[in-house]
Amino acid sequence: MIKIVKIPFDKCIVERKRRGAAKAPDIIEQEFQDFFEFELLKDKIELTEAKELDDFEKMQAELEEKALQGHSKGELVVGLGGDHSVSYGLCRAFAKKFPNSGLIWFDAHLDCQDDFFPPTHEDVLRAIVNAKLFKEILVIGARNYTQKEIQFIEKNKIALIPASQFYTSELFKNTLGQLEDFTSKVPSIYVSIDIDAIDPAFAPGTGWQEPAGLLPQRFLYLLGHLKASKKVKGLDLVEVCPQKDISNMTSRLAAKILLDFIK
């Protein structure tokens, strides 16, 4: 069974003008209906939704509880946000169920900027690192970050595959090797997907667009490699902003990404 937890929350996006990700879960769910795969999968999918959307700590506790319930039943737990801060409670649950695991963080940014509490979408990975939830962490697709963030990931030995390593076929082959090396080090993996890891030409509906991102085809190929490892026991997809989208292309791509993985 697959447990999809919808999390219509975007209050941890500091810049109010960039909010809108709270509307994404419903729209992505609607997009599921247009894929033939969904007809084959819908009996295996349990859709639920976070109820606490005002108090951050209570919301994260609810997410942690829902995720732990799913993991305890052997379900694949999928978080559907919402802004990237929602990954915090999901990662806490994963770390409790699967200790000494790995985290793969697809993102245009490093999300290690400050030490806010509650963690915002700008520093949620920093909070996860400080909480020591994972044995190994790999960030893929980053292309806009500060010197402070670089210093933080170097200090904490976080592996980085920047978006520039996807620019040529030869570099992409090296990326596959790095990914396989990472998966060999850990027994279980959590994957967090910020849609802005993908180039905004294909995913314009996100709060903070960054040029020169990953092509969807290469991203899906990487995700296929991760699926083949059979080590991914939890994942989330976040930061789709429908109000900035064009013809629902970002929401549709998000639905495609999730269905390709869980089918």
The Cα–Cα gap between 71 and 230 comes to: 15
Query: Residue 79 — very low, low, confident or very high, per pLDDT cuts 50/70/90?
Result: very high
Q: What is the CATH number of domain 2-262?
A: 3.40.800.10
Query: Residue 15 — very low, low, confident or very high, per pLDDT cuts 50/70/90?
Result: confident
Domain coordinates of the chain in residue numbers? 2-262
Is the pLDDT at 75 greater than 90? The verdict is yes
The Cα–Cα gap between 200 and 187 comes to: 33
At 29 the pLDDT is 97
The Cα–Cα gap between 226 and 179 comes to: 8
For the entire predicted model, the pTM comes to 0.97
Q: Do 128 and 103 contact (CB within 8 A), yes or no?
A: yes
* Average pLDDT value for residue range 172-197: 96
Average pLDDT of the chain to the nearest whole number: 95
CB atoms within 10 A of CB 183: 21
At 42 the pLDDT is 86
DSSP string across 195-263: GGGB-TTT---BSS--SS-B-HHHHHHHHHHHHHHT-EEEEEEE-B-GGG-STTHHHHHHHHHHHHHH-
